[in-house]
């Protein structure tokens, strides 16, 4: 990446130690952060998963009320109760052939319970949370739902309708959309999508204006903008990913914040479809750089390298942003944690430094990836834009150190091998701009802009995953638009 100002990847230049974060920083992080399960609790998850698999099989093969079913349910209830008696819920997530307890990856259990994970993924019920207050009768009704196959659920009106009918308030069952769905990328950009982007852009502009005049940003305006983004991502993921490519050199900070919000919610929706989680994630993403609005413009836009003093100031922007956010009445604590932690790094070698060291929150890890990707692919006063495929490669190289490796893999598969805004050469010799990914990672939607001789034509879109429409076209490779004097933004949807 090109500059340390928004770089979570490369080492920072030598600088004096940043001032200690205020006391509220520790309180916010502790109150807003995820549950960190103890080693003993994590170890007990193996028993829990074994009992869950046994209970699921028993309700599949035996009728309700059968002794085998009852015995398996009681064993599962006992395993769940051990967590509840310690004051914690039991959230399990199954995705990418792995299982997680909350946000903690269970590596060994992911191998041992491979069949259970594949069964849950096949049914589409990949997020299960056993909440305190659960009774065994409610657990039995929940297991009847968990034993259903995907086709059965669809025939019964879908997972949401089935869980509502089962009356299981203490068992939350959801879908992790990690399995790429063709419908994610089939929707064209609508006026509603454009209005959503504009509304979010206006919200960030308003943040800057209010802070310039000594006022706190509006929580409700942020929430309203994010709710609209969440709705559109869940309904029109492909269209919103296409819009996330919009850039404006003169309003980089504003466009960057909105793009990071879209990318974060899109990635977050692969982990959970829970709207409260996505809304909180989105508000944190939209406001992740609000602290930079307290930094002098000359420092933010300085073409050359920062001095040690300037870099120390820049490193404090997450703390400054969290301070601003903490003064906003009604803002979720988890959103504040995103603002504070988005440069902390997965290996905790980022900033601000935490003592004692605590894991970076899931939402912070999501925003860190979206932030780095959009920054790398944007032209700024102090850095040129990287190609989209180059940016993905940098994320991959830093997976496990700067970034959560599981989330990086999900992000890469979400965007495809040729992410939106990539300038590509087709096997026909034509040039095109990738507008959105497809189910086939190697065959995105492409906006063709030249003919085989390099002569510019009236742009037209081609779905490369549709053999008939593609007419033999395939992506040959990515190109650097600067070397061809092509402005990719000219071929994207204007606002």
Backbone angles phi, psi at 130, to 5 degrees: -90, 110
Residues 368 and 481 in one domain: no
- Residue 437 counted as domain residue: yes
Contact 444, 478 (CB under 8 A): no
Residues 308 and 328 in one domain: yes
Cα distance between residue 269 and residue 261, in whole Å? 12
From residue 49, how far is each of 59, 60, 91 by CA, in Å? Answer: 16, 17, 12
- Residue 296 counted as domain residue: yes
Q: How many residues does the chain have?
A: 495
Q: Which domain holds residue 427?
A: 423-491
Residues 409 and 427 in one domain: no
DSSP 129: E
Contact 265, 229 (CB under 8 A): yes
Backbone angles phi, psi at 153, to 5 degrees: -60, -45
pTM value is 0.68
- Could you write out the DSSP letters of every residue in 398-426? TBTTTB-HHHHHHHHHHH-SS-TT-EEEE
Beta bridge partners, 403, equal 399
Cα distance between residue 235 and residue 435, in whole Å? 17
Q: Where are the beta strands (DSSP E) in 324-474?
A: 423-426, 431-436, 445-450, 456-463
Residues 352 and 455 in one domain: no
Listed residues 356, 383, 415: the one ending a domain: 415
Cα distance between residue 348 and residue 330, in whole Å? 29
Residues 344 and 469 in one domain: no
Could you say which residues of the chain have pLDDT below 50? 1-2, 4, 11-33, 177-180
Residues 74 and 142 in one domain: yes
CATH number of the domain bearing residue 247: 1.10.3210.10
Beta bridge partners, 95, equal 98
3-state secondary structure 245-278: CCCCHHHHHHHHHHHHHHHHHHHHHHHCCCHHHH
Listed residues 396, 415, 434: the one ending a domain: 415
Residues 235 and 333 in one domain: yes
Dump pLDDT digits (tens) for 215-240: 777 888 888 989 888 988 888 777 78
Contact 164, 156 (CB under 8 A): no
- Could you write out the DSSP letters of every residue in 55-99? HHHHHHHS-TT-HHHHHHHHHHHHHHHHHHTTT--EEEEEETTEE
Q: Where are the beta strands (DSSP E) in 328-385?
A: none
Dump pLDDT digits (tens) for 387-437: 988 999 999 999 999 999 889 988 988 888 899 889 999 999 999 999 888
Contact 362, 2 (CB under 8 A): no
From residue 46, how far is each of 100, 195, 231 by CA, in Å? Answer: 11, 47, 36
Cα distance between residue 336 and residue 283, in whole Å? 9
Residues 194 and 80 in one domain: no
Listed residues 415, 435, 450: the one ending a domain: 415
- Residue 113 counted as domain residue: yes
Residues 373 and 442 in one domain: no
- In the prediction, which pLDDT does 261 show? 93
Q: How many domains does the chain have?
A: 3
Residues 211 and 236 in one domain: yes
Residues 428 and 444 in one domain: yes
Q: Pick the closest to residue 353 from 22, 20, 31, 15 (CA basis).
A: 20
In the block, residue with structure tokens 């086709």: 151
The tally of CA atoms less than 13 A away on the side-chain side of residue 276 is 5
Residues 215 and 345 in one domain: yes
* Residue 170, both tokens: 């203490």
- In the prediction, which pLDDT does 316 show? 92
């Amino acid at each position: 990446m090109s500059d340390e100002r928004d770089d979570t990847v490369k080492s920072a230049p030598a600088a004096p130690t940043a001032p200690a974060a205020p006391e509220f920083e520790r309180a916010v992080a502790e109150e807003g952060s995820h549950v960190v399960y103890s080693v003993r609790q994590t170890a007990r998850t193996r028993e829990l998963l074994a009992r869950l698999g046994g209970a699921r099989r028993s309700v599949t093969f035996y009728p309700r009320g059968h002794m085998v079913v009852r015995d398996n349910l009681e064993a599962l209830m006992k395993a769940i109760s051990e967590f509840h008696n310690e004051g914690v819920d039991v959230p399990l997530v199954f995705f990418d052939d792995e299982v997680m307890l909350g946000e903690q990856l269970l590596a060994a259990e992911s191998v041992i319970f491979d069949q259970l994970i594949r069964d849950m993924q096949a049914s589409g019920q990949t997020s299960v949370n056993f909440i305190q207050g659960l009774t065994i009768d409610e657990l039995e009704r929940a297991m009847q739902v968990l034993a259903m196959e995907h086709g059965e659920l669809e025939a019964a009106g879908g997972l949401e309708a089935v869980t509502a009918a089962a009356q299981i308030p203490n068992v939350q069952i959801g879908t992790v959309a990690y399995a790429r769905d063709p419908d994610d990328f089939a929707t064209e950009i609508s006026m509603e999508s454009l209005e959503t982007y504009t509304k979010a852009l206006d919200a960030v502009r308003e943040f800057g204006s209010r802070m310039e005049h000594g006022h706190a940003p509006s929580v409700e305006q942020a929430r309203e903008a994010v709710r609209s983004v969440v709705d559109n991502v869940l309904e029109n993921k492909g269209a919103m990913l296409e819009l996330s490519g919009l850039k404006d050199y003169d309003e980089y900070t504003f466009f960057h914040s909105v793009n990071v919000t879209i990318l974060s919610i899109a990635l977050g929706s692969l982990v959970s479809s829970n709207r409260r989680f996505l809304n909180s994630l989105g508000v944190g993403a939209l406001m992740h750089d609000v602290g930079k609005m307290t930094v002098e413009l000359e420092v933010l836009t300085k073409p050359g390298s920062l001095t040690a003093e300037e870099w120390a100031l820049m490193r404090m922007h997450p703390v400054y942003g969290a301070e601003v956010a903490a003064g906003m009445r009604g803002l979720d604590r988890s959103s504040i944690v995103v603002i504070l932690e988005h440069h902390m790094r997965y290996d905790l070698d980022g900033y601000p430094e935490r003592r004692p060291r605590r894991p970076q929150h899931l939402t912070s890890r999501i925003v860190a990836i979206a932030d780095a990707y959009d920054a790398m692919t944007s032209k700024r006063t102090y850095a040129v834009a990287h190609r989209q495929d180059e940016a993905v490669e940098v994320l991959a190289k830093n997976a496990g150190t700067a970034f959560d490796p599981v989330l990086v893999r999900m992000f890469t598969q979400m965007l495809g091998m040729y992410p939106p805004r990539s300038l590509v050469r087709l096997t026909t010799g034509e040039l095109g701009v990738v507008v959105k990914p497809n189910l086939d990672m190697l065959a995105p939607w492409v906006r063709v802009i030249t003919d085989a001789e390099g002569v510019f034509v009236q742009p037209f879109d081609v779905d490369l995953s549709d053999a008939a429409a593609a007419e033999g076209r395939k992506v040959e490779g990515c190109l650097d638009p600067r070397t061809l004097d092509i402005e990719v933004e000219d071929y994207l949807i204007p606002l």
